[in-house]
Structure 1
Amino acid sequence: MKTELISTVFLSEKRKSTLLMLMDGPATIDEIKNSINGTTSAIMAQIKILLEQGLIEQKNDEYRLTHVGQIILKKIKPLIEALNVVEGNKDFWASRDLGAVPDPLLDRIGDLGDVLIHEPDLNHLFEPPRELLVSLKQTKNVCTFYSYFCPTCPNNYAELAKKEVNYNLILTRPVYERLRDEYTEQYNAIMESPTSHLYVCEEDIVKPGAISVTDNLLLLSFFNKKGFFDHKKIISFEDSAREWGQDFFLHYRGLAEQVK
Structure 2
Amino acid sequence: MIYEAFSSQRRVRTLRQLQLSPANFSKLQQKTGLNHTSLLIHLRKLLSCGLIEKEGKVYKLSQTGKLIYGTLDKLDRFIIAFERGIDFWIEHDLSTSPEELLLRLGDLGHYEIVSCKNENPMCFVERIGKILSKSRWVRIVSSISLHIYHFCLPR
TM-score normalized by the length of structure 1? 0.42
1:175 equivalent in structure 2: 123
Aligned residues: 139
Amino acid at match of 2:2: L
Find the structure with the greater CA-based Rg. 1
- Unpaired runs of at least 5, structure 2: 150-155
**CA distance in structure 1 between the aligned counterparts of 2:31 and 2:107, rounded to whole angstroms:** 20
Q: Deviations over 1:19-64 (max 9, x none)?
A: 1222222112233223322212211110011111121111122100
**CA distance in structure 1 between the aligned counterparts of 2:82 and 2:123, rounded to whole angstroms:** 31
Q: Does 1:212 align with 2:102?
A: no
Q: Which secondary structure state, in structure 1, belongs to the residue aligned with residue 34 of structure 2?
A: coil
Amino acid at match of 2:145: L
**CA distance in structure 2 between the aligned counterparts of 1:212 and 1:37, rounded to whole angstroms:** 39
Q: Does 1:46 align with 2:42?
A: yes
The structure showing larger relative contact order (alpha-carbon pairs under 8 Å, at least 6 residues apart) is 1
1:7 equivalent among 4, 7, 12: 4
2:71 equivalent in structure 1: 75
- Unpaired runs of at least 5, structure 1: 116-143, 150-171, 177-198, 201-208, 216-241
Aligned-pair distance for 1:12? Answer: 0.6
**Structure with higher helix content:** 2
**CA distance in structure 2 between the aligned counterparts of 1:84 and 1:44, rounded to whole angstroms:** 30
**CA distance in structure 1 between the aligned counterparts of 2:33 and 2:81, rounded to whole angstroms:** 21
Q: Which secondary structure state, in structure 1, belongs to the residue aligned with residue 54 of structure 2?
A: strand
2:12 equivalent in structure 1: 16
Q: Does 1:33 align with 2:25?
A: no
Amino acid at match of 1:257: H
C-alpha contact 1:55 1:65 (8 A) present in aligned 2: yes
C-alpha contact 1:84 1:110 (8 A) present in aligned 2: yes
Q: Deviations over 1:193-215 (max 9, x none)?
A: xxxxxx69xxxxxxxx8693512
Q: Aligned in 2, Cα 1:104/1:68: closer, same or farther, shift over 3 Å?
A: same
RMSD: 3.8
2:116 equivalent in structure 1: 148
Aligned-pair distance for 1:101? Answer: 7.7
**CA distance in structure 1 between the aligned counterparts of 2:29 and 2:97, rounded to whole angstroms:** 38
Aligned-pair distance for 1:84? Answer: 5.0
2:88 equivalent among 81, 96, 99: 96
**CA distance in structure 2 between the aligned counterparts of 1:112 and 1:145, rounded to whole angstroms:** 11
2:147 equivalent in structure 1: 257
Amino acid at match of 2:30: N
Report the identity percentage. 20
Amino acid at match of 1:148: C
C-alpha contact 1:55 1:68 (8 A) present in aligned 2: yes
**Structure with higher strand content:** 1
TM-score normalized by the length of structure 2? 0.65
C-alpha contact 1:145 1:212 (8 A) present in aligned 2: no
**CA distance in structure 2 between the aligned counterparts of 1:13 and 1:82, rounded to whole angstroms:** 18
